[in-house]
Amino acid sequence: MNDPQSPRDPLLLDHDADGIQELDNNLPSWWVWLFYLCIAFAVAYMLYYHVLGKGELQIASYQAEMATGNALKQASISRFESSLGAATPGAEAAVIDRGRELFMTYCSPCHRVDGGGLVGPNLCDDYWIHGSQFADTVKVVWNGIPEKGMLSWREQGMKPSDILAVSSYIYTLRGSNPPNPKIREDQAPATPTEVYE
Ligand code: HEC
């Protein structure tokens, strides 16, 4: 391949692969320093985190952050729970719109899109199983009635502001008289099948 007569670059290495040859240049000194630095860093890192155990590993710092987050969440849940009794329905369009959206997504399968009741009771009349005050509605939505099939929306992960929004939306349904509402529980026939037909 190489012509022995022609002058040859002294850096040229002997091996060649399919006619491709390489020069034996020195590595740039910035690269070499970077390489040494990486080695030094790795040694320092291993000593600090794994040998001396001074630094927090990823798992530990994740758990610490989760604990801080959970404490914040608990504090805001307790604040919300202690304010439940004094809750008042919001009337701003943004709140009602958000409430309607939540209702259509999460509640309508059981309470019907117009709130007339299906599996869950009619939410449009003046008859309430768990109390007619706005605060009663908020408490039911927050805590649920697990033994009767009404979910706890706190456990479902609904935010306090959303709980208030959806309760405020329900508040606007009062007196809306949807057609064919679900029969009141205390007036329903004894055989529940007739109710669901
Ligand atoms: C899986 C079905 C189901 C879903 C979904 C559901 N509910 Fe209910 N809900 C019920 C049942 C059943 C009851 C009746 C509980 C009882 O008889 O004690 C009820 C009761 C209620 C009550 C109390 C009514 C009263 O007369 O006191 C409110 C308020 C209510 N639900 C709101 C909501 C809201 C808001 C949502 C959506 C975020 C929702 N529900 C989603 C089944 C459901």
Q: Which of 85, 76, 98 is nearest to 168 (CA)?
A: 98
The residue among 197 and 70 whose pLDDT is bigger is: 70
Pocket of ligand 1 (CB under 6 A): 102, 106-107, 109-111, 119-121, 123, 128-130, 137, 140-141, 145, 148-151, 153, 166, 170
Probe ligand 1: pick from 150, 155, 182, max atoms within 8 Å of CB? 150
How many angstroms separate the alpha carbon of residue 143 from the centre of ligand 1? 11
Cα-trace Rg, the chain: 35
**How far is it, in rounded angstroms, from Cα 156 to Cα 164?**
15
Atom of ligand 1 nearest to the CA of 109: 5
In this prediction, residue 193 has a pLDDT band, given cuts at 50, 70 and 90, of low
Mutate to test the pocket of ligand 1, among 110, 128, 162 (most ligand atoms within 8 A of CB): 110
User: In this predicted model, what pLDDT tens digit does every residue of 112-146 receive, in sequence order?
Assistant: 999 999 999 999 999 999 999 999 999 999 999 99
Q: Does residue 195 register a pLDDT over 60?
A: no
- Domain annotation for the chain: domains and CATH numbers: 12-51 (no CATH), 82-196 (1.10.760.10)
Q: Give the mean pLDDT of 104-113.
A: 97
Q: Is the dihedral of CA 180, 174, 136, 94 positive or negative?
A: positive
**Predicted model pTM:** 0.74
Residue nearest to atom 13 of ligand 1 (CA): 120
C-alpha distance from residue 147 to each of 93, 143, 195 (Å):
34, 12, 19
**Angle ∠(174,156,140) on CA atoms, nearest 5:** 35
Joined together, the tokens standing for residue 15 give: 């091996």
Decide if 163 contacts 154 (C-beta within 8 A): yes
**Taking the mean position of all CA atoms in its chain, how far away is CA 100?**
20
Mean pLDDT calculated for residue range 180-192: 78
Output DSSP code: residue 14: E
Nearest CA to ligand 1 atom 43: 150
Encoded tokens for 172 = 């606007």
Q: Ligand 1 centroid vs 120 CA: distance in angstroms?
A: 5
Tokens coding 99: 């409430």
